[in-house]
Amino acid sequence: MIVVSDSSPLIALSSVARLDLMQLLFDTIIIPVSVRDEVMGSATKVAVELPSFIRVEPIAAELPVRFLKLNLHAGESEAIALALERGIQGIILDDKQAREIADKLGLKVIGTLGLLILAKQKGLLSAVRPIMAQIIERVNFRIAPSVLNRALSLIDEPLL
């Protein structure tokens, strides 16, 4: 499966040295230029070097991005626009509003937590909870405790 990613999942997974999960779960990972710029110039405590399996592609049409930027940040806007422009169904987003917009536009949305759960289901991880706890601590990852605990309960892991 080909997916487009926003910066948040890249930064989060990089903070726990698990960017490899993206390569193991997806055939191709594409990011727009603004996401690359956000990740490389990240103000987080994590220095992110993009691995060669992540492709950077420009947006061809600027108009959809302008409309999306009315409600979203540049990276999220360009990620959604790139997915739509290239006919890519899968997108990795963490921001709640961006996820809602992408869903309304018919994209299949997964976030960092969902990606970790998928990795566990495929036998690539033994547990999600400790990794999410590290991500939350290292990059100040924001997730509603109720959302996290609901997800952890679905995979029979202790709540945070």
pLDDT in tens, 58-107: 998 776 777 777 788 889 999 999 999 999 999 999 999 999 999 999 99
Across the chain, mean pLDDT equals 92
Q: For CA atoms 125, 128, 130, 134, give the dihedral sign.
A: positive
Confidence of residue 111 (pLDDT cuts 50, 70, 90): very high
Burial 146-155 (b: 16+ CB within 10 A, else e): eebbebbeee
Do 132 and 160 touch, CB atoms closer than 8 A? yes
Write the DSSP assignment of 100-148 as a string of letters: HHHHHTT-EEE-HHHHHHHHHHTTS-S-SHHHHHHHHHHH-----HHHH
pLDDT at 118: 98
pLDDT at 15 over 90: yes
* Third-level CATH fold of 2-113: Rossmann fold (3.40.50)
pTM of the complete model = 0.92
pLDDT at 66: 76
Do 102 and 83 touch, CB atoms closer than 8 A? yes
Confidence of residue 129 (pLDDT cuts 50, 70, 90): very high
pLDDT at 32 over 70: yes
> In the sheet where 28-32 sits, what is the strand order?
54-57, 28-32, 2-5, 90-92, 108-110
pLDDT in tens, 116-128: 999 999 999 999 9
pLDDT at 47: 56
Query: In which residue are the tokens 């490899």 written?
Result: 20
Q: What single-letter amino acid sits at 20?
A: D
pLDDT at 68: 76
pLDDT at 40 over 90: no
pLDDT at 44 over 80: no
